[in-house]
Amino acid sequence: MQTKARLPRQHPRPRPAVTLFATVAVAAASLVGATSAAAQTATAPVQREITLGTHRDKPKLEMGQVFTKERFPNVAVAVNGTVLATWGTSALQLRRSEDGGETWGDPIVIASGFQSGGLTVDERSGDVIAFVEERHPPAPLRIYRSKDHGKTWKQQETVVGKDSRGNVPSMHMNDHGITLRHGKFKGRLLRPSRWYAGKNDHSKWPQHYTNAVYSDDGGVTWSTSDPFPAMGTGEATVAELSDGTIYYNSRRHWAEPGANPRRRWTARSTDGGQTWKDLEYCAALPDGPQDTNYGCMGGLARLPIKGRDILLYSNCDSPRGRNHGTIWASFDGGRTWPIKRLVFEQGFGYSSLVSGRPGTRSAGLAYVHFEGGPHGGSTVARFNLPWVLGGEKTGDGKVPAWALK
């Protein structure tokens, strides 16, 4: 039986409301009206979504260290509500929380190698799929599967197909994957991926691009999407909107002359993540600190609210250096981002972001796993929508009245 370590509650020094918020205790309560803590089983159907309703809990934020040393965070939530945080450059490590992030089990080593991100929960079977590369890619890929919500893992044989340019993508370092819940491609697994053009070298950046891999057989075989329609991209995120459209949001560490690589780039898919269109420059969202063109991995999640497209995005909000970790919220599927709130003022690097599941201990919460925090290493912060709504207006659109009721 795993021992449980309770995360110490961090109490950062109070700051003005727009720069840092005091940590408050978090219970696994719902921001969207779901209060049941009954766990889903591994044979549960694709996760249900719930209505926003009129119930509002008090704003909540809590954070604590999860890993030390090394790099590269990912976070996902199993179908039974277990929160899964992964990490590592020498080995892919996992810590599990069965109580919504209140306490965490001891580290589990899934495999030696390099964290590849893209941790994916199959909401049809309940399986969890993890990706490991032998070293910083391009490098050979291995895929591992858990049938018990992350407790044990076995390597699986896997086929990853080429994209339309004849390239097999690498998996490092992207946000978690998703199971599609709507429309023709319901049940498909989808996770971001990337093409390194043979080497992660400055001279190769103009040839880099992101894309995605998708599976219709539960993650045994993977097809590769067309390239994202902007070169110099890497480290992406995906979310499915309520109409089945896939929203794709990517880091960009190179741009052609005259284009700004310091903000995020987005596109959309209406065919389940096979092709991408509607490329847009998102002026509202920073791509890491604004003193460099190099960008920074960010996180993205859609809250499971029926008929609403509330997206959350995490990254640095800093003129210089990787700090001022912030959450932005969109209420129209990524068209505008009218509000943001600071999570942690000091060190904040790569981040991964996921929403909890209705009917479990994670219901009503979102989780951001990031490099940095009060004690360094990696930190998981958990928070709810009312906390985000107490943030700072960005001037990019307005928070709709229905979100404030």
Please tell me the predicted confidence (pLDDT) of residue 6.
52
pLDDT at 20 over 90: no
Please tell me the predicted confidence (pLDDT) of residue 261.
87
CB-neighbour burial class of residue 234 (10 A; exposed 0-12, middle 13-18, buried 19+): buried
Please tell me the predicted confidence (pLDDT) of residue 8.
43
pLDDT at 155 over 70: yes
337-377: per-residue pLDDT in tens? 999 999 999 999 999 999 999 999 999 999 999 999 999 99
Please tell me the predicted confidence (pLDDT) of residue 44.
47
C-alpha span between 267 and 287 (Å, rounded): 15
Please tell me the predicted confidence (pLDDT) of residue 57.
84
Q: What's the average model confidence in pLDDT over 28-52?
A: 47
226-246: per-residue pLDDT in tens? 999 999 999 999 999 999 999
Within-domain flag for 111: yes
The CATH number for 335's domain is 2.120.10.10
Average pLDDT, the chain: 89
Task: For residue 299, report the phi and psi dihedrals to the nearest 5 degrees.
Answer: -115, 160
Band the pLDDT of 255: cuts 50, 70, 90: confident
C-alpha span between 383 and 93 (Å, rounded): 24
Task: Specify the higher pLDDT residue, 24 or 245.
Answer: 245
Q: What's the average model confidence in pLDDT over 33-43?
A: 36
Residue with tokens 């080429």: 162
% of the chain with per-residue pLDDT over 90 = 82
Q: What's the average model confidence in pLDDT over 110-133?
A: 98
Q: Where are the beta strands (DSSP E) in 303-404?
A: 311-316, 323-330, 339-355, 366-372, 378-383, 392-393
Within-domain flag for 382: yes
Band the pLDDT of 53: cuts 50, 70, 90: low
Within-domain flag for 21: no
pLDDT at 17 over 70: no
Q: What's the average model confidence in pLDDT over 64-78?
A: 98
Within-domain flag for 26: no
Please tell me the predicted confidence (pLDDT) of residue 355.
97
Please tell me the predicted confidence (pLDDT) of residue 315.
99
Within-domain flag for 41: no
Please tell me the predicted confidence (pLDDT) of residue 47.
53
Band the pLDDT of 48: cuts 50, 70, 90: confident
Q: 3-8, long-range: CB within 8 Å, 24+ apart, which pairs?
A: 3/105, 3/106, 4/103, 4/104, 4/105, 5/103, 5/104, 5/105, 5/106, 6/102, 6/103, 7/62, 7/63, 7/64, 7/65, 7/66, 7/101, 7/102, 7/103, 7/104, 7/380, 8/64, 8/65
Task: Specify the higher pLDDT residue, 275 or 200.
Answer: 275
C-alpha span between 305 and 328 (Å, rounded): 17
Number of domains in the chain: 1
Residue 68: give the domain boundaries: 56-390
Band the pLDDT of 12: cuts 50, 70, 90: very low
pLDDT at 32 over 70: no
Please tell me the predicted confidence (pLDDT) of residue 258.
83
Q: What's the DSSP call for residue 117?
A: B
Q: What's the average model confidence in pLDDT over 289-314?
A: 96
Within-domain flag for 20: no
Band the pLDDT of 34: cuts 50, 70, 90: very low
Within-domain flag for 369: yes
Within-domain flag for 173: yes
pLDDT at 35 over 70: no
5's CB contacts (< 8 A; 6+ apart) are: 103, 104, 105, 106
Please tell me the predicted confidence (pLDDT) of residue 213.
99
Please tell me the predicted confidence (pLDDT) of residue 257.
84
Band the pLDDT of 309: cuts 50, 70, 90: very high
Strand partners, 251: 234
Band the pLDDT of 7: cuts 50, 70, 90: very low
pLDDT at 5 over 70: no
C-alpha span between 140 and 30 (Å, rounded): 41
